[in-house]
Amino acid sequence: MPVNFDLNDLYAFRALVEYSNFRLAAESICLSQSALSRRIEKLESALGIKLFDRTTRRVTLTLYGRTFAERSDQLLANVELVLADINKVSQDRVGLVTVATVPSAAYYFMPDVIRRFQTRYPRVRVKIIDSSAGNVIEAVANGQADFGICFARDLQTTIEFIPLTSDVYVAACRRDHPLANKKNLTWREFYQQDYIELDKTSGNRHLLDKMLDHIVPERPSICETRHVTTMLGMVEAGIGMAAVPAMSMPMSEHSVLTHLSLTEPVVKRTVGLIRRSGRMQSYIAAELEKLITEQYRVV
């Protein structure tokens, strides 16, 4: 015999048994009286029996209703026990999740996510491969990482991209820089300053070269590095300005560093989660993915 009711119907039934009043029962499980009545009618229809005798003042169980109440209490108790056991198993999970991510995204996305993840799964380790966009994509493609976080670029057809947020490039500088009080800076003005840039192996450099191919810097860079975090260290030391993704800047007010908007043009990148198409994720990797997409997916 097919089951044409669900657990919510049983909880509605139990509430009405307990309170013998539609209004009070409905309030106890956060339903309207009409919704509760529909659930009871659905349950009676599915069972083919009348569970309650209804009067204007009181609701009482029929003989069949009393028998069903005993059986349903046992059923709900067993279901709740199974769910509690499943929850305990999930809390006791052990294992390793490997995430490949560009450093700016690691700084922006991962600390709070890992903190929340560790609260749920204290025995699961998270390994971060923080590297260039090309290395992140490769780590996901060859299975070295469960999934990755990087910005959209030329991805293989075997890689799925799930956009999370849009990021914009800004000019990082010291607070005592002569231009620090300006609201924005054009790229041409930026290249007139002492600046630090990324080397050609960087995915950010590749994107900027593509978007700014019509702008020729008036002077070469003071210094060239491979990672944005290194550039910010150079900026803090007073070597020059640097064009960096906004998400790589300190999240709270920094005593030394600040930034200006870069315009003409405004250069944006879309940061997202990447995974190998068709790959079946482990339960714990899927849970970490879910935390990231639920918290940050705004695109």
User: Residue 1 pLDDT more than 60?
Assistant: no
Give me the pLDDT at residue 186, please.
96
51 phi/psi in degrees, rounded to 5: -95, -30
Give me the pLDDT at residue 298, please.
63
For the full predicted model, state whether its pTM sits above 0.75.
no
CA distances from 175 to 85, 180, 184 (A): 55, 6, 14
Q: Give the mean model confidence (pLDDT) for residues 83-102.
A: 75
| Residue 216: partners with Cβ closer than 8 Å, 6 or more residues away | none
Q: Give the mean model confidence (pLDDT) for residues 89-109.
A: 82
Give dist(CA 271, CA 227) in Å, integer.
Answer: 17
Give dist(CA 125, CA 147) in Å, integer.
Answer: 15
Percent of the chain whose pLDDT exceeds 70: 95
Give me the pLDDT at residue 88, please.
62
Give me the pLDDT at residue 71, please.
86
Hey, what are 64's tokens? 């069949």
**Residue 279 DSSP class:** P
pLDDT digits (tens, 9 = 90+) for 270-295: 999 999 887 778 888 889 999 999 88
Domains, the chain, with CATH or none: 7-88 (1.10.10.10), 95-164+271-296 (3.40.190.10), 166-269 (3.40.190.10)
User: Residue 57 pLDDT more than 80?
Assistant: no
Q: What is the number of other CB atoms lying within 10 angstroms of the CB of residue 133? A: 25
Give me the pLDDT at residue 80, please.
76
pLDDT digits (tens, 9 = 90+) for 178-226: 999 998 999 999 999 999 999 988 888 989 999 999 998 988 999 999 8
Of residues 173 and 9, more confidently modeled? 173
Q: How confident is residue 237, by pLDDT bands cut at 50, 70 and 90?
A: very high
Query: For all residues of the chain together, what is the average pLDDT?
Result: 88
CB-based burial label for 25 (10 Å; 0-12, 13-18, 19+) = buried
pLDDT digits (tens, 9 = 90+) for 63-82: 998 999 888 888 888 777 76
Give me the pLDDT at residue 280, please.
77
Give me the pLDDT at residue 3, please.
62
Give dist(CA 165, CA 148) in Å, integer.
Answer: 14
